[in-house]
Structure 1
């Protein structure tokens, strides 16, 4: 049952690391394992629960506080962690107040070196997040320069329609004055021509009277 719970919790921690992404660590932090309880069997809070409330980065340090010559810390594999097997540890920490540096990303597994204490909950797994160096992104490319439209050839340029001729009755305005187009006046009759007609009529009447007078004489 504990192995199944441990696998589920480890999967949750790994998933949380993926969701949170890669982070950048500028300074290492130091964590007292278990808080006030220290490294003891039957802790008031499970060590995996304590680890789930923290975020571990590369170069952070874990401090296991316990009584000297009474306990130890074993760094083990995932299989030995699940089985509480301390017979083949990767590393053994002893002497009290042992310090362990998290020198890589990924999971770490710890159990008590005292037989039987691992079964009492004295075991810890942590997941260290990877570190990514933040680099400034490339600047966006400059927009291309605007190209002015090419002028149209004379044959394709739009032409404006000719203005309509002015109406004869319309008045044209120039400046501030108004000019009215004068209407043509009838030509006056010449007096000399009238006098000539009157004279010719008188001569004609005189000749007619003479002819009529000669006829009565004969």
Structure 2
């Protein structure tokens, strides 16, 4: 039976995103510096990296820059990949870390006070149609809240993992997530109240 590299072990459903299976030979060639192997990795994981970067940064240009940065860093760091976790999970963490680092460099995480963070984001005006668009809703959140929400709710990170990424406590991560979700629920409810 000829099984595609993008199917799960049962052969029933194609895998996508960061869950894609990468052949050991491709990883070995990439670890030796083989550029066609890196092209294969980019072809498989470029879009998932971009999607995660876009959800975390809320900015298409920043997300594109971030993907380039991650894959350039991958060329330098792939030799350190030991295979303890699936390659996609390793690359996902690298992408999340790079997005958080980029947001810090841009000083979008300067304000660590949750009250001030949400008060500043309340100034963003959006039309009723935008309020129902998921991407627009995420963009209305402060950068740190958006990142915590995306990492926890969409990417499956635990509060412990998020706390380590941000250098904060688990309770801080939980607080930011709760406030972010509350804010999203309120944003979705607003257009219904207007009708």
Structure holding more strand per residue: 1
- TM-score, structure 1 as length reference: 0.19
The higher radius of gyration belongs to 1
- TM-score, structure 2 as length reference: 0.21
